[in-house]
Amino acid sequence: MSTVSGLIEKAFARLSELPGFVERPDQQQLSMLLGDFIEGDTRGAIEAPTGLGKSLASLIPAIAHAIHGGKRTVIATYTNVLAEQYWRKDLPLALSLFEDEFHPGELKTAFQIGRTRYVCLSAVEDNAPDLVLPIRAQAKLGIETEFRSIIPGPTRQLTQLWQKVAAPPVCPGRLCPHYHDCYYYKGRKQAEKAHVVITNHSVVIQDALVAQSADDGMGMLGDYDYLILDEAHDFPQAALNGLEFELSGPRIGMLIGISARLEHSLMSLAQMAGDEERWRKLCHKFKEGMEACQRALVAYSLDLGQPGILTLTPNEVLEHPQVKLHQAKGGVEAAKDVAQAVTRETEGYARAVDQCIDVWKNMTGPSEQVKLAQETARHYLQYIREIGFGASLLFEPRGVAVSYVGRNGPDAMLRQDLIGLAEPLKELIWNRKPFTCLSATLATDGNFEYFRRTTGAEFDYEEILPSPFDHATNAALYIPKQGRIPDPTIARREGTEELYYQALATELGQLIRACGGRTLALFHSRKEMEGVLRHINLPPELPVMLQGKFGAGAVGEKFKENINASLFALRSFWTGFDAPGETLSCVALVRVPFEVPIDPPQVARLAWMQTLGMDAFGGHTLPLAKMMMRQGAGRLIRRAEDKGIIALLDPRLKSKRYGEEIIANLPSEMRQFDDIYDAVGWIGLEGKTLNL
């Protein structure tokens, strides 16, 4: 039998014979590296720039190891878009490269994302019965994107419909009549055993949490051998989302809904045991208790003077002046009462349900129905208990965490976020399975120190692969002369922001004219973006689109369709926007996206670092900004033939010491200009500009 490296080489030889193949030597090197890592349980960090073909480079060694030794590899991305691309485009191609190496059906693959992204057949039957047939006939994975492509209708209408048919966070499972056809559970079963599992970061976190509390230590993804985290720069955010806790009116409402579904699911067993009345009363009492908690939360919202920090650990950080400044004011005792009541009610209800099932078992005798009822109740009660447990920790946080109150509209919302991820991630992820963190932008200042320090990951091997793109020829760096744009910090301090917006509008207007549109301007705040738009003056042939509060995907698509259009956009476009070709010929990074500590978790994190004697700016704010600037600049060249201009419009990049460091994190070989027309001429865009 071939060795793993032999299988990988053979796959690349086949790949090179395919029409349209572009040779990328680093792609094979990356594949070989990952093959070795899986072989030796090596923990790796690899920066693999855009255009290197890292999806295929990850799949090929995963498949080779499955063929050679039956190893199971999980490949997780941050976005479902990339996970789907892996599944629909890259995986079939990768499998085709191993033809003749395994018998059909021998090598198992699976796709798994979060359960609320799957269609629930039971909900379709109840809420949209006309859709049962088309969904069953056409959906393969049963996920939201398929649903939207199968069912015709305007986006808004489909979104409303989706909310009615999406799988709930917890359901009757095996008691559901559709269980055996259920898309979510089918996917889960496959993922437990498959050799190659494509999933997302949230599922990896969820899987680890399930494994941590399971008697057999097994999570949803089964006992896999190796984890590849693609888009690993976003893994900390996925972890924060997965480990946060929220107690709000809608969350309590969800508990009421879950108890109603549990009541319905177990009613026939209660009837069999002649205990229907008691069962009904028990569920009703819980509903009343939860409604009382909702009312208490509304009353607290009215008393709340200032949202902010309720408590945090370690305790000494509470004394930090910034934490004191951002402390919540008004009715804190009432918030504590709500949290305690939720814990009390959920624990009492869960105990009583367990007792009921025991009584029913004695009355009816053990049966398959009792077994199923126990299993169903376990799912529901686990969810209910988790919320009760989370509420109990709100005023007694563990680890390095902050509890705070925010507002969702007029309503108060109690939350807890981790501010130190390193220790929880070590316990949950890094010490569990060998892994590789893979990303186009994982390093800052040419090393992985920041990622290591903030996530707690330790690596046996680190590598930064070179970009396959020729930035020296295809990209120009434009930085306007000093004095053209005011310093944004000074403008804010002195209340001259309008002048700052005006200057930016003049600069951006000139850029857009020089490039004939085709500009993506990345902003750090909506206020700034709208402020600049107020002053911009361009002819109708050069339209400017604005990222609205909703529908980022739609505006991105419109921008790509109109070559003379420009797009003003925010956070999500800094990292996840892909517009290859001429449609994007200039990326303007309007301001260095320094995190402004306004939200309680940000305030608490910086205060915690300072309490530890660390330099919060140098150790957190600056590296984060460097990473974001790299990601923003990375929107320009998406394919080898792309070319264009990266415009840096923040004057602090020239006036402050950190400016040089930030610029040093961008592709080093780009030629610099301080005249936009020189840059346009040099890069060869001038023939494409409109005569305006």
Q: Is 122 in the site for ligand SF4 (CB under 6 A)?
A: yes
Task: Name the one range near ligand SF4 by CB under 6 A: 116-124, 309-317, 332-340, 489-497.
Answer: 116-124
Cβ atoms < 10 Å from Cβ of 607: 27
CB of 174 to ligand SF4, least distance (A): 8
**C-beta of 120 vs 646, nearer to ligand SF4:** 120
Interaction residues for ligand SF4, span 470-489 (CB under 6 A): none
Pick between residue 139 and residue 228 the one whose CB is nearest to ligand SF4.
139
* One residue of 182, 332, 646, 683 binding ligand SF4 per CB under 6 A: 182
Binder to ligand SF4 among 78, 87, 111, 185 (CB under 6 A)?
Answer: 185
CA distance 123 to 126: 5
Neighbours of 396 (CB within 10 A): 10
- Residue among 14, 148, 178, 639 that touches ligand SF4 (CB under 6 A): 178
Residue placing its CB nearer to ligand SF4 in the complex, 182 or 293: 182
Sign of the C-alpha dihedral computed for residues 33, 34, 38 and 44 taken in this order: positive
At 676 the three-state DSSP class reads: helix
Helix%, strand%, coil% for the chain, nearest 5: 55, 15, 30
Angle at 544 between CA 543 and CA 548, to 5 degrees: 135
- Under the binding rule (CB under 6 A), the answer on residue 171 touching ligand SF4 is yes
- Write the DSSP symbol of residue 180: G
Segment near ligand SF4 (CB under 6 A), from 119-127, 378-386, 432-440, 498-506?
Answer: 119-127
Q: Closer to ligand SF4 by CB, 123 or 546: give it.
A: 123
> Is there a contact between 481 and 62 (Cβ–Cβ < 8 Å)?
no
- Tell me how far, at minimum, the Cβ of 254 lies from ligand SF4, in Å: 15
| CA dihedral angle for residue 382, residue 383, residue 389, residue 391, rounded to 10 degrees | -170
Residues facing residue 109 across a β-bridge: 196
* Kind and range of the H or E run holding 149: helix 144-150
Instruction: Give yes or no for a contact between 591 and 524, defined as CB atoms under 8 angstroms apart.
Output: yes
162 binds ligand SF4, rule: CB under 6 A:
no
* Cβ distance to ligand SF4 smaller for residue 375 or 557: 375
Q: How far apart are CA 490 and CA 179, in angstroms?
A: 61
Residue 179 or 461 having the CB closest to ligand SF4: 179
Q: How far is the CB of 136 from ligand SF4 (least distance, A)?
A: 12
Q: How far is the CB of 204 from ligand SF4 (least distance, A)?
A: 21
In the complex, the smallest distance separating the C-beta of residue 188 from ligand SF4, rounded to whole angstroms, is 10
- In three-state form (DSSP H/G/I as H, E/B as E, the rest C), the secondary structure along 591-630 is CCCCCCCCCHHHHHHHHHHHHCCCCHHHHHHHHHHHHHHH
Q: Which is nearer to ligand SF4, 85 or 116 (CB)?
A: 116
How far is Cα 381 from Cα 258, in angstroms, rounded to an integer?
9
The secondary structure of 639-673 as a DSSP string is STT--EEEEE--THHHHSHHHHHHHHTS-TTPEEE
**Residue 544 dihedral angles phi and psi, to the nearest 5°:** -115, 125
Q: Which residues from 5-34 bind ligand SF4, rule CB under 6 A? A: none
Establish if 128 lies at the interface with ligand SF4 (CB under 6 A): no
Contacting range for ligand SF4; rule: CB under 6 A; set: 176-184, 422-430, 485-493, 583-591: 176-184
Site stretch for ligand SF4 (CB under 6 A), options 175-183, 384-392, 439-447, 641-649: 175-183
CB 576 within 8 A of CB 79: yes
Strand partners of residue 401: 313, 418
Q: Which of 121, 203, 254, 629 binds ligand SF4 (CB under 6 A)?
A: 121
Which residue is it, tokens 């010491």?
657
- The residue among 178 and 285 lying less far from ligand SF4, judged by its C-beta, is 178
Q: What's the closest the beta carbon of residue 182 comes to ligand SF4, in angstroms? A: 3
167 binds ligand SF4 (CB under 6 A): yes
Q: Which residue has the tokens 């809608």?
A: 250
| Segment lying near ligand SF4 (by CB under 6 A), choices 169-177, 399-407, 524-532, 618-626 | 169-177
Tell me the closest approach of the beta carbon of residue 132 to ligand SF4, in angstroms.
Answer: 11
In single-letter form, the type of residue at position 679 comes to A
Residue among 12, 98, 184, 226 that touches ligand SF4 (CB under 6 A): 184
> Which one, 120 or 475, has the nearer CB to ligand SF4?
120
User: Quick one: which segment of 177-185, 222-230, 454-462, 606-614 binds ligand SF4 (CB under 6 A)?
Assistant: 177-185
For the purposes of burial, counting CB atoms within 10 Å of the CB of 42, is it exposed (0-12), middle (13-18) or buried (19 or more)?
middle
Quick one: 122 or 510, whose CB is closer to ligand SF4? 122
- Out of 107, 128, 150, 176, name the contact with ligand SF4 by CB under 6 A: 176
Q: What is the footprint of ligand SF4 within residues 494-553 (CB under 6 A)? A: none
Residue number, 176 or 296, with CB nearest to ligand SF4: 176
H/E segment holding residue 505: helix 497-515
Do residues 335 and 414 make contact, with C-beta atoms less than 8 angstroms apart? Answer: yes
Q: State the DSSP code for 195.
A: S
Note whether 173 binds ligand SF4 by CB under 6 A: yes
Query: Does residue 261 belong to the site contacting ligand SF4 (CB under 6 A)?
Result: no
Q: How many residues form the binding site for ligand SF4 (CB under 6 A)? A: 13
- Going by DSSP bridges, is the β-strand pair 226-229/435-439 parallel, antiparallel, or unpaired? parallel
- Of 57, 330, 418, the C-alpha closest to 44 is 57
Choices 59-67, 115-123, 199-207, 449-457 (CB under 6 A): range interacting with ligand SF4 = 115-123
Give whichever of 202 and 631 is closer to ligand SF4, judged by the CB atom.
202
- Pick the closer one to ligand SF4 by CB: 171 or 628: 171
Helix axes 4-16, 25-40, angle to 10 degrees: 160
Among the residue ranges 41-49, 164-172, 273-281, 501-509, the one whose residues contact ligand SF4 (CB under 6 A): 164-172
Nearer to ligand SF4 among residue 182 and residue 683 (C-beta): 182
Nearer to ligand SF4, 171 or 203 (CB): 171
The pairing of beta strand 586-589 with beta strand 519-522: parallel
Residue type, 668: S
Rounded distance between C-alpha atoms, residue 616 and residue 603, angstroms: 11
What is the C-alpha separation between 194 and 535, in angstroms, rounded? 56
Contact segment (CB under 6 A) with ligand SF4 among 182-190, 215-223, 515-523, 676-684 equals: 182-190
The one segment of 173-181, 508-516, 576-584, 610-618 that binds ligand SF4 by CB under 6 A: 173-181
* Residues 104 and 233 sit within 8 Å (Cβ to Cβ): no
Q: Name the nearest CA neighbour of 520 among 479, 473, 470, 575.
A: 575
Q: How far is the CB of 369 from ligand SF4 (least distance, A)?
A: 17
List the beta bridge partners of residue 645.
Answer: 476, 586
CB of 523 to ligand SF4, least distance (A): 40
170 scored as a contact of ligand SF4 (CB under 6 A): no
- Which residues in this chain contact ligand SF4 in the complex, by CB under 6 A? 120-122, 167, 171-173, 176, 178-179, 182, 184-185
